[in-house]
Each structure stands twice: as structure tokens, then as C-alpha cells.
Amino acid sequence: MAGGTMDDDDEITAINVTPLVDITLVLLIIFMVTTSVISNAEGLQVAKPEAATGAKLEDSSVMVVCAADGTIQVDGAVMESDAAIIDKLTDKLVEDRNLQGIVQCDEAAQVGQMVHLIDLMREAGVKKYAIATTQPVAAKGG
């Protein structure tokens, strides 16, 4: 059948791939939207202080976040006590002895809270730590 016409008696042997392509595209869109929502690694919205001399870290690290309301997270998990923070940091140190701790505190958080978190890192055995900051916005003017 070179002309492509079909008789009523012939069986349909071709596979219709249109529904498969439709479902695949819908799943692709769903995964793209989900990935963009999940990509917020910080979990808490924290207004980091500015520092002109900041540098990016290349080593493996653990993020300790303190929000303005006093909420503390370690790698995205909310911590209820100092003991829980130390346990989480100790577990991370078992995985990597060269782990670097990063303290990311909101500008409105108490300085004492940041110092306390650094102290907890030292107590857990983290030897290297840093404070997360943002680059200052260039002053406008002329």
C-alpha cells in the first residue's frame, strides 16, 4: 500500500506516540517547576550582613542558620536544642573530618546567638568555620 490508504479490513499496527509525547512534556514541566522550588537550599530567608572581603568556599561544609526570630537550622533541619545541634554537627564530622562550618545569621539576629553557634561548632569538633555574608551593593552617585 504505497498510497497510505487503509481498508476497513486491515489491522492497525502503528503505535500512536502523541499521547506518550504529551505525557512526557507534562512530566518535564512538572519536574522543572518542582526543581526550581526545591533549589532554595537555605530554607529560611535570612538577610545576611554585607562584607567587602568575602570569598567563596570550596571545601565541604555544613550550614548553620539563625533567623531573626531565633529559629536555628543545621543543613535545613530545624534544631530545638544545643544538644541536637551538636549531635547533627558530630554526625556530619563523621562523614568528613575536614568539614567547614558556615554560620549564617540574619542581620536582626543577636550577635550573642552567632557567637554561641560558633562555640557549639567548636564543641562538636569543627575546626574551620566561616560567617556567611553578601557583597555590598555599590553606592550610587556621581
Q: Where are the domains of the chain?
A: 41-142
Per-residue pLDDT, 16: 87
Percent of the chain with pLDDT over 70: 75
- The model's pLDDT over 74-108, given as tens digits with 9 standing for 90+, comes to 888 888 888 888 888 888 888 888 888 888 888 77
Distance CA 105, CA 14 (A): 61
Q: In the predicted model, what is the mean pLDDT of residues 4-13?
A: 69
Mean of pLDDT values over 19-32 = 93
**CA 57/CA 46 separation, integer angstroms:** 19
pTM of the model: 0.54
Q: Are 104 and 65 in contact (CB under 8 A)?
A: yes
User: From the CB of residue 121, how many other CB atoms can be counted at a distance below 10 Å?
Assistant: 25
Q: Does 27 score more than 50 pLDDT?
A: yes
**Could you read off the pLDDT of 128-139 as tens digits, one per residue?**
888 777 777 765
Is the Cα torsion angle 87, 92, 98, 100 positive or negative in sign? negative
Assigned fold of 41-142: Nucleotidyltransferase; domain 5 (3.30.420)
pLDDT at residue 98 in the model: 82
pLDDT at 6 over 70: no
Is the confidence at residue 114, as pLDDT, over 70?
yes
Sorting pLDDT into bands at 50, 70 and 90, what band is 30?
A: very high
